[in-house]
Amino acid sequence: MPSLSEPWRALLARHGPALVIFARQWASSHADAEDALQDGFVRFLHARRRPEDEVAYLYACVRSAAIDAARTRDRRKRVDERRAAPEPVFADVPAQMELAASVEAALARLPGEQREVMVMKIWGELTFSQIAVALNTNPNTVASRYRYAIERLEAMLADEVRHE
Amino acid sequence: MNDEIFDLESRLAALKPRPVSSALEPAIARAAIRPSRGSVSFFWSVAASGAIAASLIVAMLMGRPGRDARAVPLAQVVAKVPAGSAPLAVLARADVRWGDDFGLNDNPSRP
């Protein structure tokens, strides 16, 4: 059975779970997100030159693979997926299930450009500079998107607590 | 406000993403061995471009009018060469324009 060499295996183990959440923004299921991660990781491995920041470049590859997959996905399949029950994004931890569901719903309501920054910062633990490289933008824009995202998320979660 | 945001960041970071399936790593390794779709399509696009370029060159060469079409027909030149002329004049007449260039055609002493 083929296997990855140690540095790539470590990179996948370290960033794989966060990359699946990242890819879920464009995929409707965990399996589709893993497919996008696979495709993105292969693109990363086939890069002609080694990037300066491998983690940022890996995120860029997975992003591009997930967007391509979402574009080419069969329309009928997408309709079927919308009818299917949503899969949780976070691990099933009984003490966190309520918060996880609220955060998932709040994330879905964020604009895409804020959501992707939020996912890379919180779960990917990337710096603003790395996120800027991955998104091909500047760190100030990234920091600004993150600030808006966290404030909106905070407001949405606070609203939810008030309504309970 | 900053404290609230810091607290929210901590709570969010505490949410663990679902683990990736154990089949993902071997699947990536298998897919990485195969040539990527990009490189395959690049190969075919290069091959197709080469074939098109070669066809165009062949078509241009075959469709190009030959130099002989512009030249004076050999039979006309040869027919005008009188017997017993000087060898240089005979050579010059082989191509009338060359003869003009060297002034050989205007030589009044020429037979």
User: pLDDT-based confidence at A129, cuts 50/70/90?
Assistant: very high
Q: Is B40 touching A (CB cutoff 8 A)?
A: no
Please give the residue range of the domain that contains residue B86: 67-101
- Are residue B58 and residue B75 in the same domain, yes or no? no
Q: Which two tokens stand for residue A122?
A: 């919180």
* Number of neighbouring beta carbons within 10 Å of residue B101: 11
A63-90 confidence digits (pLDDT tens): 999 999 988 876 556 555 555 556 778 8
CATH architecture of A91-164: Orthogonal Bundle (1.10)
Q: Does A18 touch chain B (CB under 8 A)?
A: yes
Residue A51, Cβ density class (10 Å: 0-12 exposed, 13-18 middle, ≥19 buried): middle
Both B42 and B75 in one domain: the answer is no
**What integer pLDDT is reported at residue B104 of this predicted model?**
60
pTM of the model: 0.68
In a domain, B94, yes or no: yes
Task: Print pLDDT tens along chain B (111 aa).
Answer: 578 888 889 989 999 888 888 889 999 999 888 765 666 677 788 888 999 999 999 888 887 665 555 556 666 655 565 666 676 666 666 665 655 666 666 655 555
Q: Are residues B30 and B60 in the same domain?
A: yes
Most B-contacting residue of A9, A22, A39, A41 (CB-CB within 10 A), to test interface: A41
Distance, CA of B26 to CA of B72 (rounded, Å): 75
Residue B1 lies in a domain: no
Contacts within 8 Å (CB) and 24+ apart, A68-72: A68/A39, A69/A26, A69/A27, A69/A32, A69/A35, A69/A36, A69/A39, A70/A26, A70/A27
Across the interface, whether the CB atoms of B15 and A41 are under 8 A apart is answered no
In a domain, B4, yes or no: no
d(CA A128, CA A107): 19
**What are the sequence ranges of the domains in chain A?**
1-87, 91-164
Q: What ipTM was predicted for this assembly?
A: 0.81
pLDDT digits (tens, 9 = 90+) for B41-62: 777 888 889 999 999 998 888 8
B53 and B37: one domain? yes
Span A50-75, average pLDDT: 89
